[in-house]
Amino acid sequence: MDTKKQARLKARAQIIKAMAHPSRLLIIEELAEGERCVCELTDLVGADMSTVSKHLTVMKNAGIVEDDKRGQQVFYKLRCPCIMDFFGCIERVLKARTEY
Amino acid sequence: MDTKKQARLKARAQIIKAMAHPSRLLIIEELAEGERCVCELTDLVGADMSTVSKHLTVMKNAGIVEDDKRGQQVFYKLRCPCIMDFFGCIERVLKARTEY
DNA sequence: TGGCAGTTTGGTTATATTGCCAAATAAGCA
DNA sequence: TGCTTATTTGGCAATATAACCAAACTGCCA
């Protein structure tokens, strides 16, 4: 396998990994409704703000979300809302799993 | 957040996490073409067979693939090919990232 | 300027993941 | 039955992740 393909797979994995956490999925769902500041997401997730901030950094580095600082708040929003299309398939996997 | 939602998020995260690895993405792409035995996938990935077997177990537990033992070989195939629809969006995220 | 609210960063600890090797299992064949 | 091939399992070491607390930053406002 060539290096290029390897790099592409790694890049894809990084993006998918950035979604592979319950809190981050919750954040993604919330951001699908519109932009939110870190404090709102912190309330939503119910973890330490530093923890939420780190989750957001992971997703930002992956290119899933982008931030926008306005005043003392930082607002995050989804960069590619097509991400939401994932969940339909995920639910289908879950359903198939229970039918097993 | 209720326990039910928490469980659902965790289940989704498990499925997504099962995809979040370069070798596993490669395997998923290959299985999209049709079923393959472990030895074929081992050649493809270029890692130890035990390593590949463990990757397959992770995906099987997540419900992404299923196995079928025939003779001394075990064939794996995708359980929900809709998984492949992910990649279009992932590529869009990657593209948006480079345009940044 | 000083202090406060919102956010990020650094540090630490606990836990999870990954990959290899060696050993165990399972099925086919001489 | 004993051997061989295909696969899984167990164990270990290296690395990565996640959560919290404390400290640093940043922009607003008195």
Interval A37-75: pLDDT, tens: 999 999 999 999 999 999 999 999 999 999 999 999 999
The CB density around residue B52, as the number of other CB atoms within 10 Å, is 23
Residue B13 to residue B40: CA distance in whole angstroms = 28
Query: Which residue is closest to B18 within chain A, CA to CA?
Result: A20
State whether residue A63 sits within 8 Å of chain B by CB. yes
As a whole number, mean pLDDT of residues A10-31 equals 98
Task: Give 10-residue mean pLDDT values along chain B (100 residues).
Answer: 91 98 98 98 98 98 97 97 90 86
Interchain pair B17, A15: CB under 8 A = no
Beta carbon of B35 within 7 Å of strand D?
no
Contacts of A47 (CB under 8 A, 6+ apart): A23
* pLDDT tens figures, A88-97: 999 999 998 8
What φ, ψ does residue A24 adopt, rounded to 5°? -70, -35
Residue B51 CA distance to nucleotide D11 C1' (Å): 14
